[in-house]
Structure 1
């Protein structure tokens, strides 16, 4: 049984519930595995439509109704995925007002500043967060009401990993689009790099309320030596030039 409480329930059961409701057209916000007020409201709306006792609690009867209706409707991206994609694909004048948070966790302060400068030159509203605390990044991005979050960290591995939020049954469509765009841009300017895109459930990707990616960049010496090219590639991935 799942219901709204403080602190909020968290976990894969909540993620699965959010995914099912989203695919059925009930808006529970971002699929993040956190049982918040939007999810409780979506459950009540579903119960009202399914003829189940309306209490905002995911009980056995509610689960049975969800599974029955889900089996009839098939798979689909869901409201959350569609919204995520739309937020990343804004165009025209609206795009010039996009709010972007660039987060730096260690070793890439120079690259983060170059990215921030390139985005500001492209008339974006940019916040730079330069500290190792994940909670500070989440708080800043959500309070700033960012449209996109780009996290950076250096590592000693011989490859780059661009992560977007994904759990079984759901992935951030906007985050995946941005991840692939950054990977393609990095490969174009530095062909010697090995760049992989991967879905992960990192806290920074789960807790932020916008399309987000976490860029773990290496090898460190190559990334720092080519800092301007790396920054230009990441900025270009947002199609802001």
Structure 2
């Protein structure tokens, strides 16, 4: 098997990003690269090369789905941009390469996440374990190096790896990022006045059942929620106009530049089986210490509960995931899937203006409940007058 540095993963990422994902049945020169990456990730057993090495077979499909399931991605067996990016990160183990802050293109990978997790456990890293070697990670690394008696150069090379390996695994600290996030919400007060919310509606204009499109539904719900939030003093910013789309990176940059308190992405779902229906929410969560948005999870659960209780939509529950819109966003962020446009019942509901207004109102109550104590308001009991009263408690 080629070494991690020899794998031409940029070609795989370029292909998937160009709208030509790999999937079951494909015969392609990049399939062997995909196979090697899955072996490197530990979800595919090494085997002898064969004449079918360049064919995306059922064994490979199962391995891709297992990898996606493990990484919190949609387990559809399709190697698109998100899966390709995750595979690229999974090829790096801590110690494979020197880690340092690079201008213009920050290093990413499982090795960075492993280093971040180790520093979180030691109580030295207060940022999320996102697998991205940015300024916060470099600052934490310098602190670690000072504690280890090494030159604090912010470069994680062999001396740092050796010193880390000598530390007992029993040394432990806490998840400073989770504590800080909880504390920020607790200290923010119950009023929504003055809080900044970025709303990010989906932009797909492919008609579903009854001709309903994601862009029409999500943008309308976003506008209705923005009106309600603004009425109680919140500051709202939409990520884009209805006739445009922006990249995930630009969405994240917008949220950072606005100093957002919360980010809510609105999407709709599709499925080959028209029976699939219901509302679901997603927040950032992974398997490592510090790889979890605690406030994002609470907001996702509150949105899920309020919408299900007030609209009667099928409850598809809240789920951890590693999708970039929630993984890369530093403030609490959730993805809200409003329903399946391929389901006639969901499409009929989402195509109704009064129903979309009910969703927006449910979301307002969920956002308000985020800033209340755990037992201050039961699901489905808040009224608009309650939110207005809280808004006056600045």
TM-score (norm 2): 0.56
Q: Distance in 1 between matches of 2:245 and 2:198?
A: 15
Q: Does the alignment pair 1:35 with 2:130? A: no
Equivalent in the alignment of 2:245: 132
Equivalences for 1:1-241 in 2 at 5 Å?
1-6=98-103, 7-66=105-164, 69=167, 71-74=169-172, 76=174, 78-92=175-189, 95-106=192-203, 107=214, 108-130=218-240, 131-133=244-246, 134-156=248-270, 157-169=276-288, 170-220=291-341, 221=347, 222-225=349-352, 226-239=355-368, 241=387
Residues 136-189 of structure 1: CA distance to partner in whole angstroms, max 9, x if unpaired? 322211111111100001223512221111232011111111111111111211
Contact residue 108 and residue 132 of structure 2 kept, 8 A: yes
Q: What SS does the corresponding residue of 2:334 show, helix, strand or coil?
A: strand
Q: Distance in 2 between matches of 1:113 and 1:70?
A: 53
Residues 62-88 of structure 1: CA distance to partner in whole angstroms, max 9, x if unpaired? 345445557223474x11122223334
Contact residue 122 and residue 173 of structure 2 kept, 8 A: no
Contact residue 87 and residue 147 of structure 1 kept, 8 A: no
How much does 1:44 deviate?
0.7
Q: Distance in 2 between matches of 1:70 and 1:237?
A: 43
Q: What SS does the corresponding residue of 2:170 show, helix, strand or coil?
A: helix
CA root-mean-square deviation: 2.3
Q: Distance in 2 between matches of 1:64 and 1:235?
A: 51
Q: What SS does the corresponding residue of 2:119 show, helix, strand or coil?
A: helix
How much does 1:100 deviate?
0.8
Q: 1:65 to 1:159 in 2, by over 3 A?
A: farther
Q: 1:132 to 1:12 in 2, by over 3 A?
A: farther
Contact residue 101 and residue 146 of structure 1 kept, 8 A: yes
How much does 1:54 deviate?
2.3
Greater strand fraction, Structure 1 or Structure 2: 1
Q: 1:52 to 1:11 in 2, by over 3 A?
A: same
Higher relative contact order (CA 8 A, sep 6+): 1
Q: How many residues were matched structurally? A: 240
Q: What SS does the corresponding residue of 2:169 show, helix, strand or coil?
A: helix
205-214 or 52-61: which moved more? 52-61
Larger Rg: 2
How much does 1:25 deviate?
2.2
Q: 1:100 to 1:155 in 2, by over 3 A?
A: same
Q: Distance in 2 between matches of 1:18 and 1:79?
A: 12
Residues 93-152 of structure 1: CA distance to partner in whole angstroms, max 9, x if unpaired? 775321110111132111010111111122111111234322332221111111110000
170-179 or 22-31: which moved more? 22-31
Contact residue 120 and residue 176 of structure 2 kept, 8 A: yes
